[in-house]
């Protein structure tokens, strides 16, 4: 291992996760923290900390200058961006390169290519990845109407510069297209500083399936199976599992092969995820996007594969060859993850902050809890609401589901509201039990039924 000293440029549970991986490899860690996180658990565990600014993200975790200044000042060899914040920022990768610091992730060019959804679609098409009918850049509402007539309704208006549901509108009626175009364009500009849109045929009743890939500096690309991430609220994932249940084997092989083909075509290096919309009944898959970072839900893949994905990131960044081939990747059993967030269900799942007066996560031989929280922890108002990731394993999906339900029953959080009770409701639904999830299930069925109880 050529990395001796690394800056962790993130916070919360992913910062702690990276620190733990570094400890296993004998890498000294420096944690970049805002003023709000000086007393956090990651700050206690890291070898050293460096304050990069006030609580506001734009002045700390989202500041390329602050992070690179901290990295050079602390004389680190490398920087790990975690997920979120600047994890997919070509500017940060380039600034690290200019400063002689190793960026743990793909190249700036690869991030820029996959970060622009239009360019990503072109690359996927060239690599032979299955895709839904769609368009290039939409110029205006009139142009959108012409393109939609060719693509066929329903269509989805999407932002070229980002994702996460922002700048995204589903249009089933041609009369609604002008209003949807203006709304999506304005939303995209506000979220990404770029109003560019494109159209794609909307696939109703779809599932969200993503494939984990790893690529090294020597041209080797492998997949580490796929995950189902269909249970989402407003396009934000809530529950993930590996492998994806109920997929026809031909469709499973198709998305795995397509992910490797795309990553190989761009010479990808590091950990990444190629995402698809899938209709298991129709046997259809379609490229959605590629995330050029470690994912929140990487833990379920680690549990069923036995591969430490953060360690793999570090080894690849250090210039090592992948130490296993595709034939060596074997998935055993089933894993399910629930994201536990500080949200008030009775107030429309509004994020909330405050002091956690009691934090007792479940324990057991098949239970993993990735968290930075503890009794007495003050949940800040400045960042996302993720408190913990509850991951369970079973030899079968049914066994994993029973263990998840039991674990949620014994997850105690007091002082702040959480979504634990809703997660218990969601994973106990007939649709989840029978693997009949879709990306619309939570918003259209589970949430209204759950909210009726308040």
Q: What are the residue numbers of the active site?
A: 293
Residue labelled with tokens 């000293």: 5
Angle at CA of residue 384, ends 383 and 386, nearest 5°: 130
The CA distance from 129 to 285, in Å, is: 9
Q: Is 127 in a helix, a strand, or coil?
A: coil
> 329, 350 in Cβ contact below 8 A?
no
- DSSP for 63-116 reads -HHHHHHHHHHTT-SEEE--SSTTTT-HHHHHHHHHTT-EESSS-HHHHHHHHS
Angle at CA of residue 117, ends 111 and 123, nearest 5°: 75
* Short-list 244, 251, 207, 221, CA closest to 331: 244
The CA distance from 454 to 437, in Å, is: 24
Q: How is the chain split among helix, strand and coil, in percent rounded to 5?
A: 35, 25, 35
């Amino acid at each position: 291992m050529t990395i001796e000293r690394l800056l962790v440029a993130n916070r919360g549970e992913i910062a702690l996760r990276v620190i733990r991986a570094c400890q296993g490899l004998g890498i000294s860690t420096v944690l970049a923290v805002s003023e709000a996180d000086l007393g956090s658990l990651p700050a206690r565990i890291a070898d050293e900390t460096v304050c990069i600014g006030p609580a506001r993200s734009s002045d700390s975790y989202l500041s390329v200058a602050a992070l690179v200044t901290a990295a050079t000042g602390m004389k680190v060899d490398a920087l790990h961006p975690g997920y979120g914040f600047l994890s997919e920022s070509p500017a940060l990768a380039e600034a690290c390169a200019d400063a002689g610091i190793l960026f743990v992730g793909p190249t700036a060019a690869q991030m820029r290519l996959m970060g622009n959804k239009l360019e990503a679609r072109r690359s996927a098409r060239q690599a032979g990845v299955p895709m839904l009918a769609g368009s290039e850049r939409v110029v205006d509402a009139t142009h959108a109407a012409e393109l939609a007539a060719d693509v066929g309704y329903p269509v989805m208006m999407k932002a070229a510069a980002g994702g996460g549901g922002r700048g995204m509108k589903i249009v089933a009626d041609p009369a609604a297209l002008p209003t949807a175009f203006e709304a999506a364009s304005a939303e995209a500009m506000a979220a990404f500083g770029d109003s560019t849109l494109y159209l794609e045929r909307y696939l109703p009743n779809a599932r969200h399936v993503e494939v984990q890939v790893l690529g090294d500096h020597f041209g080797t690309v492998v997949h580490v199976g796929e995950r189902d991430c269909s249970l989402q609220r407003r396009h934000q994932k809530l529950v993930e599992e590996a492998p994806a249940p109920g997929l026809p084997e031909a469709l499973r092989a198709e998305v795995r092969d397509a992910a490797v083909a795309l990553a190989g075509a761009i010479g990808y290096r590091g950990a990444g995820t190629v995402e698809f919309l899938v209709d298991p009944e129709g046997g259809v898959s379609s490229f959605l996007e590629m995330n050029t970072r470690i994912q929140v839900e990487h833990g379920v893949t680690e549990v069923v594969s036995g591969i430490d994905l953060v360690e793999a990131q570090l080894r690849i960044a250090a210039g090592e060859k992948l130490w296993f081939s595709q034939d060596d990747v074997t998935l055993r059993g089933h894993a399910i993850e629930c994201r536990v967030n500080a949200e008030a269900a009775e107030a429309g799942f509004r994020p909330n902050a405050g002091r956690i007066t009691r934090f007792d996560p479940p324990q057991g031989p098949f239970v993993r809890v990735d968290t930075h929280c503890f009794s007495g922890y003050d949940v800040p108002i400045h960042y996302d609401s993720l408190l913990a990731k509850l991951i369970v394993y079973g030899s079968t999906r049914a066994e994993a589901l029973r263990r998840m339900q039991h674990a949620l029953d014994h997850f105690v959080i007091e002082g702040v509201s959480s979504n634990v009770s809703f997660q218990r409701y969601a994973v106990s639904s007939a649709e989840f039990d029978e693997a009949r999830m879709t990306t619309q299930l939570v918003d259209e069925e589970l949430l209204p039924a759950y909210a009726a109880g308040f």
